[in-house]
Amino acid sequence: DQQVKQNSPSLSVQEGRISILNCDYTNSMFDYFLWYKKYPAEGPTFLISISSIKDKNEDGRFTVFLNKSAKHLSLHIVPSQPGDSAVYFCAAIINNNDMRFGAGTRLTVKP
């Protein structure tokens, strides 16, 4: 039973445009959400996080939005760059240590 879902396995955008990656979750007990970026043959690297008591967090080109009533979060990348091409994982934390990941979305940014 996957509690964190990323329903789009892939996304392709043009350089300079906005990339929007979506994530849905089912467990209302999650209290922290994170986005990770992963290149082939490397471990995931942290991008940005948001507490469940907030609805937006911004860090440079990356903004995460949280809609608790819809159990939905999204990652916006503006402007998208070719170096952003990677697999993006959404993750949610429950009970301090138990982190659940989505299946990932492969983003391709075309020059």
Residues 17-56, one symbol each (x = binds other proteins by CB under 8 A, - = not), give: --------------xx-x-x----xxxxxx--x-x-----
Does 102 bind other proteins (CB under 8 A)? Our answer is yes
- By CB under 8 A, residue 96 contacts other proteins: yes
3-state secondary structure of 57: strand
Nearest to 104 by CA among 57, 55, 37, 49: 37
Q: How long, in residues, is the chain?
A: 111
Looking only at residues 50 through 89 of this chain, which bind other proteins when binding is defined by CB under 8 A? 51, 89
CA 1 – CA 111 distance, rounded (Å): 38
CB of 14 or CB of 27, closer to other proteins: 27
Distance CA 76, CA 86 (A): 14
Binding site for other proteins (CB under 8 A): 2, 4, 6, 9, 31-32, 34, 36, 41-46, 49, 51, 89, 91, 93, 96-104
